[in-house]
Structure 1
């Protein structure tokens, strides 16, 4: 662990600021429970300086040529690719995911920057038909300085999702990444700075989350809020944003249902879903979690799923062959224990896991499968955000759809069937922003990523991610 980033900083107005007299917080390696370094926390003066820098950075960047924005993003993408081995190692040390997954995440950031380097050239308006001597134009302009908040589960991709479209649109950004995973976000910012991004366009601050959010969102400098995280925190930030009438993009909690119909390829579905469920230790907002399986194939699917789940190799993500690392911080194992214990008390059957790995110093939890979980169990109503799969049978399709839509969340849903008719009907009926049919791959650089209901609104990625950083202006002219 000695090669972890030796110095953690804030980035404000192009200057890297070390801890100095500031408060600090330890960054803990979840695989071993040991401190990796000390993270400086921004104080009120730092936040005021970041706001001033963002205002000046926006004034300069909003009028920058599109070729300059595209060049910066492409050069930053090239730097991320060149530095991928080191960046991935730091991400694994501070977040816990397997090294191969962290490496893929770095490359995903590079791909996202490359997408927005091209997409920013397609910020189109339109000219409306008017009589001679009159003209009406619809134009797009950058919304202004963005306050962005990113979580720890994808410590590289989440910051890139906030920064990439904002920079492409001509906005400035103040990003508060997760304090658990600071080096990852700083690597993303470093690539942009080294690619020639002017001072003030991107600031990175860390701190006590409530203090930072209240300070930033109370400022008239900020024109937009972008948030990824829990529904509870998202609602609080929206209340703060309402006082300044801010535009918001909110990607909040999920509790993804999986509908497995009796005509599906059961063995293939079980293998694919087990891999997806335990990716990133289940700490994924779109993780398949509530498995509703048609009764005729319920036992067969559950047995196959348990078999594949039992084969998942758990350990330190830096070691070859590891498929699932620890949970991200010390609070998560206790939270998972409480959900599993509550479900069992209400009659759920524990088929696999259900406990911490007591022989490990880190925050490990075994892949867990619960069957016959009643809908009243907390785990069936609150997002576990961990390696827990919940199984329940259904008889008729209408029953499965009702269960899928029962909760206030609506981020992702999955359907497994060989019937095109069933796939079309179920995917149309599921109330979520994204649906996967016979696949769990539901994100891409060029596709919108977002939810509905209590899972948020707006979208990241794709043209929609750029559009979220733009405002529409209509200009009417008479000669």
Structure 2
């Protein structure tokens, strides 16, 4: 479970120039403020990101507003063709885009390329489903009256995408908005911007009309306030932390803006004593440390029935032993660095709190290497319920393993927190599976496998993990308004 960060030629790759995309035109930094972009694996500066000023944001909003007048009336077939062309370009460019994501976000190259390549499917699915946004005719009470229910695009959307899956999360928002007939201004993550530039180039080359997609970066509080307060923006889509989501939701609510909020989680796992323990441990360990645990649906709180607890811990540690930590461009690496130095400090704080309250650190618990934001994959055994790890989402490579006796107690503990995004369970009993699926308070329940993510599946949470869905037919609900037309003939 170790690796050195080398200066091998594998790290030497040309990082793309960073720019805005407004009204169909790419804009370099020019006179604007810039922000350094770092490789989290080496801490080297690899790029300079232009930051939008108020005039840039206003131009992007105006461009999206003008374009909406045309795009909403465009044939669904024509919109579908553009999304399909963009999907084909994504597949062609996946290797290069993925390499740049590894450079600015840190995840291993195979994960980054897979993130990009799999995203093409979302465009293709939305290209088809966007052709099936139907209204309906409601039989009237008088033969002289015709009653029609129409579903129309809401208008200009402001989208805010995160750094942990910079390509996939942004693409989901773009696909839903464009397939619905909306236009959008996307504020991408300042930490991992190359994926957003690549998306803009993909849609530009696919023939998307100017103004339908606009991308920029800036001081987050300034840009988000200007976008949300603009009367031309009618829909907000945000993926990120619960605290920031609450702030944006309050601002959007003050202006009666539609919202889709996909916020943080603290995903529980229930492993019953009738489960295939070895299989469950191996699957969960690989899934937990994907993207160094910086995943909103990452399994974090593991409740394991006492009869198989020791066996699960042993199998878990065996699976962890196969992990190799290092720079994402190094061959054989299975876990890269954390995205920021502050994430490493947070991991240390979680571990320190757990140890102070009596928990056993079975593996990891320390930062790695002299440079780069690396933290060892960490397992905490039987932490107290009031530890930070059992109450706050760590968003990093830390797992808590806790024994339980009765299933109802495990379900209650899983539901104790205000989060409700993803959840997991492993059991061979259909009765247990039924109890778990009915009683877990989560937007997504995975039993005996990991089934989230495909384009046709709704992805979203409950409680403080947000509202609305991305993916599935539900994705269109946030981008369409319902209009009732009644006509006396």
**Distance of 1:216 and 1:370 partners within structure 2:** 42
Aligned counterparts, 1:330-479, within 5 A: 330-359=341-370, 361-479=371-489
**Distance of 1:4 and 1:24 partners within structure 2:** 19
Q: Structure 1 residues 358, 380: CA separation in 2 closer, same or farther (over 3 Å shift)?
A: same
The counterpart of 2:189, out of the listed 169, 178, 182, is 178
Q: Is the 8 Å Cα contact of residues 450 and 458 (structure 1) preserved in structure 2? A: yes
Q: What secondary structure, in the 3-state scheme, does the structure 2 residue paired with 1:185 have? A: helix
The counterpart of 1:64, out of the listed 49, 68, 74, is 74
Aligned counterparts, 1:12-51, within 5 A: 12-51=22-61
Shift of 1:475: 0.6
Shift of 1:309: 1.2
Aligned to 1:212: 223
Q: What secondary structure, in the 3-state scheme, does the structure 1 residue paired with 2:340 have? A: coil
Shift of 1:467: 2.5
**Distance of 1:186 and 1:420 partners within structure 2:** 47
Q: Structure 1 residues 14, 2: CA separation in 2 closer, same or farther (over 3 Å shift)?
A: farther
The counterpart of 2:202, out of the listed 191, 195, 206, is 191
**Distance of 1:113 and 1:73 partners within structure 2:** 6
**Distance of 1:170 and 1:164 partners within structure 2:** 10
The counterpart of 1:153, out of the listed 153, 164, 168, is 164
Shift of 1:2: 5.1
Shift of 1:310: 2.2
Unaligned runs of 5+ in 2: 1-10
Aligned counterparts, 1:73-92, within 5 A: 73-92=83-102
Q: What secondary structure, in the 3-state scheme, does the structure 2 residue paired with 1:249 have? A: strand
Which string of whole-angstrom CA distances, capped at 9 and with x for unpartnered residues, describes residues 138-179 of structure 1?
Answer: 111001100010110001001101100100011011101100
Which string of whole-angstrom CA distances, capped at 9 and with x for unpartnered residues, describes residues 258-285 of structure 1?
Answer: 0000000000000000000000100000
Q: TM-score w.r.t. structure 1 length?
A: 0.99
**Distance of 1:137 and 1:84 partners within structure 2:** 44
Aligned to 2:333: 322
**Distance of 1:142 and 1:39 partners within structure 2:** 32
**Distance of 2:91 and 2:387 partners within structure 1:** 44
**Distance of 1:317 and 1:358 partners within structure 2:** 14
**Distance of 1:109 and 1:311 partners within structure 2:** 28
Which string of whole-angstrom CA distances, capped at 9 and with x for unpartnered residues, describes residues 54-82 of structure 1?
Answer: 11011111111111110110000000101
Which string of whole-angstrom CA distances, capped at 9 and with x for unpartnered residues, describes residues 326-373 of structure 1?
Answer: 1011211001110111011101100000011034x1111111000011
Q: What secondary structure, in the 3-state scheme, does the structure 2 residue paired with 1:63 have? A: coil
**Distance of 2:246 and 2:67 partners within structure 1:** 29
Unaligned runs of 5+ in 1: none
Q: What secondary structure, in the 3-state scheme, does the structure 2 residue paired with 1:304 have? A: helix
Q: What secondary structure, in the 3-state scheme, does the structure 1 residue paired with 2:339 have? A: coil
**Distance of 1:392 and 1:347 partners within structure 2:** 13
- Decide which moves more: 292-301 or 4-13: 4-13
**Distance of 1:6 and 1:293 partners within structure 2:** 46
Q: Kindly report structure 1 stretches of 4+ aligned residues shifted beyond 4 Å.
A: none
Which string of whole-angstrom CA distances, capped at 9 and with x for unpartnered residues, describes residues 106-139 of structure 1?
Answer: 1121110011000101101111112321111111
**Distance of 1:265 and 1:109 partners within structure 2:** 32
Q: Is the 8 Å Cα contact of residues 310 and 367 (structure 1) preserved in structure 2? A: no
Q: What secondary structure, in the 3-state scheme, does the structure 1 residue paired with 2:124 have? A: helix
**Distance of 2:98 and 2:415 partners within structure 1:** 37
Q: What secondary structure, in the 3-state scheme, does the structure 2 residue paired with 1:83 have? A: helix
Q: Is the 8 Å Cα contact of residues 4 and 93 (structure 1) preserved in structure 2? A: no
**Distance of 1:311 and 1:135 partners within structure 2:** 66
Q: TM-score w.r.t. structure 2 length?
A: 0.97
**Distance of 1:6 and 1:393 partners within structure 2:** 48
Q: Is the 8 Å Cα contact of residues 158 and 236 (structure 2) preserved in structure 1? A: yes
Aligned to 2:3: none
**Distance of 1:440 and 1:257 partners within structure 2:** 13
- Decide which moves more: 406-415 or 432-441: 432-441
Q: Is the 8 Å Cα contact of residues 102 and 328 (structure 2) preserved in structure 1? A: yes
Shift of 1:243: 1.9
Q: Is the 8 Å Cα contact of residues 16 and 194 (structure 2) preserved in structure 1? A: no
Aligned to 1:114: 124
